[in-house]
Chains A and B, each alone.
Chain A
Amino acid sequence: MRLENLSAWYGSKRALQDVTLDVEEHAVTAIIGPSGCGKSTLIRCMNRMHETVPKARVEGKVHLDGEDIYALDPVSVRRRVGMVFQRANPFPTMSIYDNVAAGLRLNGMRDRRRLDETVLRSLKQAALWDEVKDSMDVSGVGLSGGQQQRLCIARALAVEPEVLLMDEPCSALDPIATAKIEDLIFDLKKQYTVVIVTHNMQQAARVADYTAFMYLGRLIEFNRTRDLFEKPREELTENYITGRFG
């Protein structure tokens, strides 16, 4: 995935300024930066979610397999570029099974055997199967916070996206649930390209192969994670990651 001179606005307020970034396939890219720096806006532009906000607009290009996603149907883009949010948001009236199957049914899949297979595969990929296999008919909101987040990941994986965007997926979770999600991210990159927005720099250091540091809507530094945390190129990055922002 390649972002080219990407800018984004909320009304007259510019939230992103000319961001150009190559997202490596089958790797994890973390986006870090202080609140309001444009991290979430950036990934919301990567699956055309940004434009769903009234008065929001985007300029620039986002290439997926060589095609500009802004020249494609937004619904098909979101099928190829899945998203997991900060707060787990399982459909409250649906069972665990139906939550995972929701996207597939929306795409017109009716074959029960294929649905069963895909739900099973997705829950296994999301490392949730062993915990829910005996309660597939139970409501998704009855699960713990960490389980709900993995359910949302399973739901996103069910439609077999190429890219998985995660917007602070662990910020509401305890360390044990966080560790499970981080282990999951490690496994997922074998099949998917993962982009994660996180406030937690140690999390970026633990899970990401590449890290982008953003500040005031600009991409300040994009580097291999180990280089960014050992010898950042930019002083602004250094000051941020070492906690010297005042």
Chain B
Amino acid sequence: MTPRATQRKAFGEGLRKLNENMVTLAELSELSIRKAVDSLARVDHGTANEVFVLDQEIYALQLEVEKTCVDLIALHAPVARDLRTITTSLKITTDLDRIGRYAKDIAETTLLFDPGRRHFKKLVSIPHMADLTITMVDTAIEGFVKRDAESVRHLQETDDSVDALQDEVFREIVTYMMDGSMTVEVGARYILVARYLERIADHAVNIGERVVYMVTGERLPRVRAADRAKGRGP
């Protein structure tokens, strides 16, 4: 005979609030990446400024999530999956906050270009990197919300694609800088933006790893990209 599963009301309410705030935090982080890259692609200072407002909102919500987690630990002494959910939330908020900060860095880069000015060519790889990273953050948070460890296990592979795109941007920009068609200062801006997006993808991978721990209690081993490529074969 197995007893019927119930949950203590106050604690359940706290967990529900935590879940909601985590979803909102992730949505704000994704929105800030989208707006930041959009502001860069269109050299739109207005949109870039919206990212700074989002960064403030993300920070405020991160503090609220932290407070909820500390309250739940202090008042309810959670264990097992409840404890893993709360400690995972605490770790993920840091990742989401970092994601927001990188979006802010991209928006700051936008402000370095004169409004309305065209780029050396239409940006392709950087928006593509942004799409991939947003999808990664989305997948990772979806895994968190649905308590689904399987959906996040392949984030590493998408991260490899983002890394490859970063290398592509790097090589392309260095070529322009070497042939003198782009100044080092401007070229460095694009390289840094690609680097910020690559870091965002890394944080999405972190979130995925933490979701696996939250759901299963197991910690995923870190595998180098080169070793993953070997595993996939030629």
A interface with B by C-beta (< 8 Å)? 201-202, 205, 216, 229-232, 236-239, 241-246
Contact = CB atoms under 8 A, between A and B. Distances in A.
A246 B3 contact: yes
Nearest to B3: A245
Chain B, interface residues (CB within 8 Å), range: 20 to 34
A27 B83 CA distance: 25
Nearest to B11: A243
A241 B80 contact: yes
Contacts of B82: 242
A245 B3 CA distance: 6
Closest 6 CB pairs of A and B: A231-B217, A246-B6, A246-B4, A229-B79, A244-B5, A245-B3
Q: Is the interface of B mostly helix, strand, loop or mixed?
A: loop
Contacts of A238: 80-81
Given A238-B80, A244-B6, 12 more contacts: A202-B77, A216-B1, A229-B80, A230-B84, A232-B80, A241-B80, A242-B7, A242-B78, A242-B80, A243-B8, A245-B5, A245-B6
B1 to A, nearest CB: 7
A230 B80 contact: yes
A34 B66 CA distance: 33
Interface string B6-41: 111001000000000000000000000000000000
B215 to A, nearest CB: 10
Interface string B74-108: 00011111111000000000000000000000000
Contacts of A205: 79
B79 A242 contact: yes
A216 to B, nearest CB: 7
Nearest to A235: B2
Nearest to A231: B217
Interface string B199-221: 00000000000000000111000
Contacts of B11: 243
Q: Which of B6, B11, B79, B83 is packed against the most chain A CB atoms within 10 Å? A: B79
B217 A230 contact: yes
B186 to A, nearest CB: 51
B79 A244 contact: no
A244 B82 CA distance: 11
A237 B217 CA distance: 15
B195 to A, nearest CB: 36
Nearest to A236: B2
Contacts of A236: 2
A242 B3 contact: no
Contacts of A202: 77
Nearest to B8: A243
B83 A239 contact: no
Contacts of B216: 231
A245 B78 CA distance: 15
